[in-house]
Each structure stands twice: as structure tokens, then as C-alpha cells.
Structure 1
Amino acid sequence: MMELNKFVANKARPLPVIVMADTSGSMSIDGKIDALNRSIKDMISSFASESRLRAEIHLSIVTFGGEAVTRLPLTPAHQIEQIENFTALGGTPLGAACTIVKDLIEDKDSIPSRAYRPVIILVSDGYPTDDYVKAFDALLNSERAQKATRFALSIGNDADNTLLGSFGNDVEAPLLFAHNAAEIARFFRAVTMSVANHSKSQKPNEPMKLEFVNDELPDDDLDIPL
């Protein structure tokens, strides 16, 4: 008689997604912080509804506005109950946020070795206001961040596009642009859909491509590669 435990399904492997979100004072203008708050709530509910047969999406959110704070420790998406709205306030301490994310991504308890390649998303509408260079370089040069899929979104006309462009490592779109609140939402929808599809793919550990769908915005109003 065969042993039943030989047929127990393999446990889903974590697929970590880390959002680094600029919540500095300038994000209060033109509906940017409201779009960010809505987009993150939509992302959480979408991730929570995904099947967990092969990969289980885990989400962490680190904001940097006035100070850098872990708003959501790395948590299985289906276990996230509620997240408070972020308020736009203060300067842009990107360096402090990079240190938090580097510590998280290197923490073997939070992200075990069996986890799939992490996805890190950086969104910002301004220039860093702290001494960020060492922390930024340390994050990008960490072994796990080098293997991670990294996306960067430049919001508005005052972001540090050189810095953000050096963060993203999607060959086809190292830096994406959002000129208004609607495009922030569209970027997050694309990331959400891409991660969801990636989690169900045959090879969730391959580098992830960002997928866009045509939705209510006409293409000629967008500065995002389709």
C-alpha cells in the first residue's frame, strides 16, 4: 500500500514583492498620494485573490516621507487585512529607505532561500534629501537585490530620472514615467497583473517582464512603453 504522504502537494514558495513609495510633501500635489493609496489597496486585494499553488505572493511596503518607515512587513498577501492611507509629508529620505530594504532582502528569516526571485518597486516624484549614495549603492550591490527584478516609476516633472533609471533593471523599460495620477494607477495595475501572471507561470524564478494592458487611457496620452 502506497504511503499517502508521498502525494502531499509541495508547499507554495514565497514570491516577495517590496514597494518603496515616496510619500514626501510634494506627493500631496495633483492627487498623487491619493492615487498611490488607491493603487496599493487595489494591489493588495488583487494579490490576495491569487491562487497559491506554485507561488505565494508576499508584500512589504516601505515609505519615505519625512522619515523612512516599514508600513507593512513582508506578509502573505492573503493575510493582509487592512493598511492605512499614507500622508504626504516632509522630505525624501531615500537612503534610509534603501537601508531598510537591504536589511529586509538579506534577512533569511523573512525571505528564505527557497523563495522566488524578489520584485522591488521604487516610485518617487523628487530628489533624495538625505545622504543616500552609500545606502543606494549598498542596496543595488547586495547579492539578492542584484538578482531581484527591479522597476522604477518617475512621477511628475521633478523626479531624479538618472537615479531612478539606474535602479530599474528591466532591459526594455528601465524607467517608467507617470505624468498624472491616472498613470500612477496604470503603472500599479501593470505591476499587479505582471506579478500575478508570473506567480502562476511555469518558471516563477525567471526574471519578470512588465506587462501592460490597454485600458481606459488612450495610448497617445501615455509615456509608458506598450
Structure 2
Amino acid sequence: MLVLDVSGSMSGDPISLLSKGVNQFIQEVCQDDFASLAVEVGIITFGSTVDEVTPIQSILGISTPTFSAMGRTPMGAAVSRAIEVLENRKQQYQKHGVPYYQPWIVLMTDGEPTDEYLKAAAQLRELAEDSKMLVFGIGIGDHCNLKKLAEFCPANRPPKKLAEYRFREFFQWLSQSMAKVSVSTPGTGVELPNTKGWDTIQI
């Protein structure tokens, strides 16, 4: 689940590069024989409103999304919606006895929450620390409040700052990560590619 900040401060190059990066990610995963069949993606944006731009579905069925920047930063409401959607999806899999990978939430923002976010942050952090979700907090630009973004993330995976506006490199890393996970067995650990190229601090 991509949970993306489209507030007014993202206008200009950031929102344009974000759109290109997301579309590149979709295209690259679709070109991978295994990942294209295994990966489901949903996209939730938060700005003037919280919108489920892309309901969670097979990546092969996703239409190319475009984003526009306006409004404030209701990050708490967006994260609550993402958790609800992903938990419902997991319940569907459990009901039908389908093995699944724990979902990933990629939370990208260039600012800080402007709504009541503490409950959502605590819930997401708890899910991550219980290994029920993988959470990646990504800070964009020089004005992102990484301290507040860290409240959404588990202690062992603090947020990372995107070097400059390297959305293309980040989403390339994400597609490579999806390719590695898609050929693994659900429930087993996977060593992810190095984040060199998009991150100011590598893992």
C-alpha cells in the first residue's frame, strides 16, 4: 500500500516526479514474470482529502494514476484507512485459506500530520513491531518532520530521507524488492536490496 502525501507543499517538481516514480514502479513490476502475478497494490493519497486512488488489486489491473497537489496533510486519517483496507484483505485470504505475505505500507510525506494522528501512528507502529506489517517511512525534501514520521515506524526501521527528489531510484528499489519477495515463501525472511542510490543513509 502506497500512502502518499499530495498536500499543497508537494506542488511542482515533487508531485510530478512522484507520479513518474509510481508509474515506473508499476511498469517494472508488471514486467517481472513472478512479481506481476504475486503483487497486489493499493494507493491512498492525502491532501485536501484522503482518497483511495487505487483500491487494492493485482498490479496487472492498475490504471496509470496521476496526482495533483493541494490541501493540508491528514496523515493520520490516511494511515487509518490503509490499515483498515489491508486488515480486510488479510481476513479475506485467511477465510479462503490462501497463504500471503505480510503487507507493506510505504508512507511518503514532505511535512508532518495536520490532523489527529497519534492513535493511527501507535496502531501502525504496533502492527509493524508485531511483524504483521512492514512499514517504510520516507521523508521528502528539507521540511519533512522525520521525528513525527518516526512515530509511525517500528524502532528497528526508522524513517529514511529521500536524497534530493530521487523518486525514480526509490521506486526502482521498491520494484526490485517486490521481485525478490515474490519468489520467496510466505512467512520467510527476505534480504532486501541496498538502498544506495536514493537514501541519505543506507540499509
TM-score range, shorter chain: 0.7 to 0.9
Following superposition, the deviation at residue 151 of structure 1 comes to 0.8
Asked if 1:99 is matched to 2:80, the reply is yes
Question: Contact 2:108 / 2:138 at 8 angstroms: preserved in 1?
Answer: yes
Task: Tell me the TM-score normalised to structure 2 length.
Answer: 0.85
Asked if 1:187 is matched to 2:164, the reply is no
Question: Contact 1:68 / 1:96 at 8 angstroms: preserved in 2?
Answer: yes
- Counterpart Cα distance in 1 of 2:30 and 2:36: 14
Identify the residue that residue 40 of structure 1 maps to in structure 2.
22
- Counterpart Cα distance in 2 of 1:54 and 1:101: 22
Following superposition, the deviation at residue 204 of structure 1 comes to 4.0
Asked if 1:156 is matched to 2:141, the reply is yes
Which of the residues 22, 33, 44 maps onto 2:5? Answer: 22
- Counterpart Cα distance in 1 of 2:20 and 2:167: 10
**Greater fraction of residues in strand:** 1
Identify the residue that residue 162 of structure 2 maps to in structure 1.
178
Following superposition, the deviation at residue 146 of structure 1 comes to 4.3
Paired letter, 1:155? I
Paired letter, 1:47? V
Question: Contact 1:124 / 1:154 at 8 angstroms: preserved in 2?
Answer: yes
Percent of pairs with identical residues: 27
Task: Tell me the TM-score normalised to structure 1 length.
Answer: 0.77
- Counterpart Cα distance in 1 of 2:127 and 2:22: 26
Aligned length: 199
Following superposition, the deviation at residue 138 of structure 1 comes to 2.7
Paired letter, 1:177? K
Question: Contact 1:122 / 1:152 at 8 angstroms: preserved in 2?
Answer: yes
- Counterpart Cα distance in 2 of 1:153 and 1:165: 10
- Counterpart Cα distance in 1 of 2:179 and 2:54: 19
Unpaired stretches in structure 1, ≥5 consecutive residues: 1-17
Following superposition, the deviation at residue 188 of structure 1 comes to 1.6
If you compute each CA radius of gyration, which structure gives the higher value, 1 or 2?
1
Structure 1 pair 79/151, CA: closer, same or farther in 2 (3 Å)? same
